[in-house]
Amino acid sequence: MRATGDNARGLAVEAAWIAAHLALYPASALRRQPDRDDEPYSLDDLPPLQRGLQVRAPDAAGTPILLVHGLVDNRSVFIRLHHQLRRRGFRRVRAVELPLWTTTVEDGARLLADSVTAAAGDGGRVHVVAHSLGGLVARYHVQRMGGDRQVDTLITLATPHGGTRLAELVPRALPYPLLAQLRPGSPLLAELSRPAPGCRTRFIAVAAGRDTVVRPPQAALEHPDLNSVNITVPGLGHHSLAFNGAVARQVAGWLAETVPSELLDGGVAQQQALGPGVGAEVDRRLGRIPHPAGGDDDTEAEAVMGHPVALA
């Protein structure tokens, strides 16, 4: 790495989130997540962010969201994303636990298929958000097992769609076929590059600009038959991408069917711009709202949304 300030900051952030991930990992491995669907029949007790989604996009709020972790990992990698989705009104957010003994992408895809079918029910649809290897598992399910009938949106975070050269450092004599599938040009990746006409799932592939495990070009999804968008978020690494608050908020926006229009700092997309004159009027009104002292961006957003000037 070049000894620059940006690289040093990126490395520090990545190291901090790896440490936090390791601290959370044992509890997530030992304690199973309860399977429950919160279906509130009243909006009275909901905070503004949740109430807004329930009113504006009830179908999006009720669509199941499955979180799929990566290699030798568990749901702890999604602890922040899970919290952000729940507090924004998504009622049915579940983690899919891939066993540590999963030996191939195909085995993981079959396990995921059972979870997708259970969550979707009869004729329903789900969204999937997957990190690293989990994205390949979900993509195989969608492309090669007919999963596009049930998976509406697949968002992959730092997924090695083009493989990862780190897998080539593992001795080929090691009897672990999953690692061989992650090598660039592997038979599995060649299978995923085959034609997939009529695939109904939309794909959003998010790469981390400072990822040394899956470099941004390897995390891009390039396939002529797939409805896909590739986005690189600068300044983040392989683990910090999954824990980043701005990324979590953007994922929530995509799943709430926010229209992406332009890239912000070459990375995360933002909502479609307001018409001429409307944006200036909104800025003028919001400028009169005092910001809560010491509040984070979510607290501030709730205060702004609930203020009489904003509601007007």
- Give φ, ψ of 107 to 5 degrees: -60, -45
The pLDDT tens digits for 108-122 are 999 999 999 999 988
For residues 136 and 160, the answer to whether their CB atoms sit within 8 Å is yes
Q: In this predicted structure, which of 60-64, 130-134, 146-150, 171-175 has the lowest mean pLDDT?
A: 171-175
More confident residue, 271 or 236: 236
Mean pLDDT on 77-84:
90
Largest CA distance in the chain: 67
CA dist 258 and 5 (Å) reads 34
Mean pLDDT on 186-213:
95
Q: Name the amino acid, one letter, at 71.
A: L
On the question of pLDDT at 195 being above 70, the answer is yes
Strands (E) across 209-257 are located at 227-233
CA-closest candidate to residue 181, choices 241, 77, 102, 237: 102
CA dist 100 and 136 (Å) reads 16
Please list the residues that pair with 146 across neighbouring strands. none
DSSP 115: H
CA dist 12 and 18 (Å) reads 10
CA dist 40 and 202 (Å) reads 29
Structural domains of the chain, with CATH: 46-256 (3.40.50.1820)
Distances (CA, A) of 214 to 71, 209, 277: 13, 10, 43
Q: Is 20 exposed, middle or buried (0-12, 13-18, 19+ CB in 10 A)?
A: middle
CA dist 208 and 311 (Å) reads 36
For residues 116 and 146, the answer to whether their CB atoms sit within 8 Å is no
Residue 67: strand, helix, or coil: strand
- Kindly indicate the confidence band of residue 71, based on its pLDDT and cuts at 50, 70 and 90: confident
| Range picked from 32-46, 82-96, 223-237 for highest mean pLDDT | 223-237
pLDDT (0 to 100) of residue 102: 85
More confident residue, 88 or 230: 230
More confident residue, 174 or 29: 174
More confident residue, 154 or 70: 154
Mean pLDDT on 251-273:
53
Specify the DSSP element, H or E, that contains 98.
none
Residue 289: strand, helix, or coil: coil
CA dist 2 and 242 (Å) reads 24
Residue 209: strand, helix, or coil: coil
CA-closest candidate to residue 160, choices 138, 136, 191: 136
Mean pLDDT on 47-76:
72
Distance between start and end Cα atoms, the chain: 51
Rg (CA), the chain: 20
CB burial string 51-65: b at 16+ within 10 A, e below: bbbbeebeebbbbbb
Strands 260-263 and 269-271: antiparallel
pLDDT (0 to 100) of residue 14: 62
On the question of pLDDT at 284 being above 80, the answer is no
Tell me the whole-structure pTM to 2 decimals: 0.71
CA dist 12 and 138 (Å) reads 30
